[in-house]
Structure 1
Amino acid sequence: MASHRLQVDVPEVRVRVASAVGLHARPAALVARLAAEQPVAVTIRKDGGEPVPAVSLLGLMTLGVMHGDEVVLAAEGENAQSSLDKIAGLIATDFDS
């Protein structure tokens, strides 16, 4: 007998990267630090790509996200939407100004 899993809607937020250098070095470190402060595990992926943990500096840098690219954040659990909004807000700012 096949088991059926319920499809759970995982909150996602799409955000365009404003940083002139994309998610490289310092901007990636700021995102990873903020993600680590959240009460839920957050993943990030370049639109169409595979997700990586948002707390992983190396993972963020390997995404190859450049200025103007769109990324998708996802998380599940209590306060997921609030966590996604905080991280999306950071990504939408120009870290370099």
Structure 2
Amino acid sequence: MISKDIIVMNNSGIHARPASLFVSTASKFKSNIMVSKGTSKGNAKSMLNILSLGITKDSNITISADGDDAAEAVDTLIKLVESKFGEE
């Protein structure tokens, strides 16, 4: 299991467009990928799960993955969040 924490910095957090980008990126990997915010946890490959976490600007989230490509999956998703989903 690989996991990393990151703070979401884009002004509108993870709303529909970035969530869609996040889910489509996560879905390219074979690993099971989860996103946690506080005590809530959701499947990174599920749009509904990601949106239901209510991730806003300055939210601290944890991206974790388990599987053959777990390290690559976590690194790729961390870079996506760091890029502010291309919104800024």
- Distance across 2 between alignment mates of 1:59 and 1:72: 14
Aligned counterpart for 1:83 among listed residues 73, 77, 88:
73
Q: CA RMSD in A?
A: 1.1
- Distance across 2 between alignment mates of 1:64 and 1:25: 11
Higher alpha-carbon Rg: 1
- Distance across 2 between alignment mates of 1:79 and 1:59: 21
Which residue pairs with 1:13 in the alignment? 4
CA deviation after TM superposition for structure 1 residue 50, in Å: 2.5
Which residue pairs with 1:71 in the alignment? 61
Given that 1:19 and 1:94 are in contact with CA atoms closer than 8 Å, whether structure 2 keeps it comes out as: yes
Can you give the 5+ residue segments of structure 1 that lack an aligned partner in the other structure?
A: 1-9
Aligned counterpart for 2:20 among listed residues 6, 25, 29:
29
Which residue pairs with 1:59 in the alignment? 49
Superimposed CA distance per residue, residues 38-93 of structure 1 (whole angstroms, 9 cap, x where no aligned partner):
121210011x2222110111111110111111100111121211110001110122
Which residue pairs with 1:45 in the alignment? 36
Task: Extract structure 1 runs of 4+ deviating beyond 6 A.
Answer: none
TM-score for the superposition, normalised by structure 1:
0.83
Q: How many residues align?
A: 87
Aligned-partner residue type, residue 93 of structure 1: S
- Distance across 1 between alignment mates of 2:35 and 2:20: 14
